[in-house]
Amino acid sequence: MDEAEALNLKSFLKWTTELGISDTPSTSSDSCLGHSLFVSYFPEAGGRGLEAARDIRKGELILSVPKGALMTSQSLMMNDEVLSIAVKKHPTLSSTQIDDAIWAAQKASRKAEEEWNEANVLMHELKLKPQLLALKAWLWASGSISSRTMHIPWDEAGCLCPVGDFFNYTAPGEETSNSEDRVAGKAFSLQEDGPLKLETELAADHRLIDAGYEEDVSSYRFYARRIYRKGEQVLLSYGTYTNLELLQHYGFLLTDNPNDKAFIPLEPDMYSLCSWENELLYIQSDGKPSFALLSTVRFWAVPKTSRRSVVHQVYSGNLLSTENEVVAMRWLARKCRTILDILPTTTEEDCKLLAILDEFQDIHQIVEIKEMPPTLASELCAFIKSKNLVSEGICAMSSIARRSIERWKLAILWRYHYKKILCNCIVHCTEIINDIISQRDSIQGNLH
């Protein structure tokens, strides 16, 4: 962190202290942080986040932001009469403005531009500066709101929560809850507070260990999802998201996301066989088909004349027959292989391209194109040309160029993880087929 950034952060934390934001029940310092949390940098996690200033128990309150410090559409209009009058003249505008991979990006882009056009009249009435009227400024502002707002019950647009938006993301279900965790938590309790009453421990175990607005104290409160040791990054769950959703709404993804999923095109008649919603027909991050997808493929693999007699078994999730299961698994594996075969790059090539880009950023020189696979060479050349990154073999690494590369790396990472899910599904289906065949051969061998 450079000196100017450090001064800005210090000033910001002093301001938030004046607003009553605190990581301790009472504070007399000029910073709202220091008792439970510190602002720190985690390069491997994308940058700035919050670090544990001490050992923290699971379920412990670690940050409180009073209602008066929350920034909402209502509070903005209460404090700005011109804004309030102008907004009331445009009731068709929603409180928020911004709503799977190329399609999702194109959809988001079109939607953003449409909403910018809708809001243009209002922005002109507010007499905003010309640079703030531009689409680029709108995309920055709407992206900031989309990625940083937190839920509150009285405003569908949510709120901006100072300091609370420093927390980086962890997927739900990642927090530990084993016996070692509980023992360690009790050890911390005894060290800091002495013996705790049983009801206090139970309350901590069952408390909403995340974040939310609490009406009884008129504050947005944040709790530790698990035990944190001093120096660890303290994380927050925003909800259950796939990597594509995280990338679209927050600008990052997880290398190990238990909630990630891959959608594959099904046979046309599959969609009408069962009453499942299309968004339930996916492959999980471990390669296993979802309950709805597995049931649908199993049902499709049954001859049409026999489907009525097995429909109840399908909806109960039961195995219909070993023959049916083999047909279903072979179809899934074949579909995944077909998708992988038509994609322009492999997982191995994606890894190589990421390594090339890392080297590119480190030494500011491009690896010899002739040493690269043709598909990677073509993709890399097209990217370099579109961004005007290289002049006479030397990379002009401006801040814009760095951001472009980082965004491209995220896109490559997303497609890599998508392919990994398909590969995992092929492995999963192959293992099930082999187990069925092995068991059948074993039974036939015993009969002979």
pLDDT digits (tens, 9 = 90+) for 269-294: 888 887 788 889 999 999 999 999 99
Are residue 275 and residue 293 in the same domain, yes or no?
yes
Are residue 90 and residue 178 in the same domain, yes or no?
no
Domain-located, residue 244: no
Are residue 130 and residue 268 in the same domain, yes or no?
no
Q: What is the DSSP secondary-structure string of 163-188?
A: TGGGPEE--TT-S--SHHHHHHHHHH
Domain-located, residue 241: no
What sign for the dihedral angle of Cα 19, 21, 27, 32?
Answer: negative
Residue with the larger pLDDT of the pair 312 and 81: 312
Q: Are 286 and 317 in contact (CB under 8 A)?
A: no
pLDDT of 46 above 70 = no
Percentage above 90 pLDDT, the chain: 30
Q: Which pLDDT score, from 0 to 100, does residue 184 have?
A: 39
Are residue 273 and residue 128 in the same domain, yes or no?
no
Are residue 290 and residue 346 in the same domain, yes or no?
yes
- The pLDDT-based confidence of 126 (bands split at 50, 70, 90) is confident
pTM metric for this prediction: 0.72
Are residue 229 and residue 281 in the same domain, yes or no?
no
At which of 106, 140, 160 does a domain end? 160
Are residue 304 and residue 417 in the same domain, yes or no?
yes
Residue with the larger pLDDT of the pair 374 and 81: 374
Domain-located, residue 255: no
At which of 130, 160, 190 does a domain end? 160
- The pLDDT-based confidence of 412 (bands split at 50, 70, 90) is very high
pLDDT of 26 above 70 = no
Q: What's the rounded Cα separation, in Å, for the pair 167 and 176?
A: 18
Domain-located, residue 412: yes
Domain-located, residue 288: yes
- Quick count: other Cβ atoms within 10 Å of Cβ 117? 11
Query: Which bin fits 26, alpha (ψ -120 to 50), beta or left (φ > 0)?
Result: beta
The edge-to-edge listing of strands for the beta sheet with 211-214 is 61-66, 219-223, 211-214
As for how many domains the chain has, the answer is: 3
Of 276, 278, 277, 279, the residue nearest 299 (C-alpha): 276
CATH number at residue 220: 2.170.270
Are residue 19 and residue 108 in the same domain, yes or no?
no
- SS3 label, residue 134: coil
Range of the domain at 172: 3-69+165-236
Are residue 312 and residue 283 in the same domain, yes or no?
yes
Domain-located, residue 228: yes
- The pLDDT-based confidence of 173 (bands split at 50, 70, 90) is low
Paired tokens of 293: 């997808």
Q: What's the rounded Cα separation, in Å, for the pair 99 and 108?
A: 7
Are residue 394 and residue 313 in the same domain, yes or no?
yes
Domain-located, residue 41: yes
Are residue 325 and residue 181 in the same domain, yes or no?
no
Helices first, then strands: H and E counts in the chain: 15, 13
Domain-located, residue 344: yes
At which of 160, 178, 193 does a domain end? 160
Are residue 336 and residue 230 in the same domain, yes or no?
no
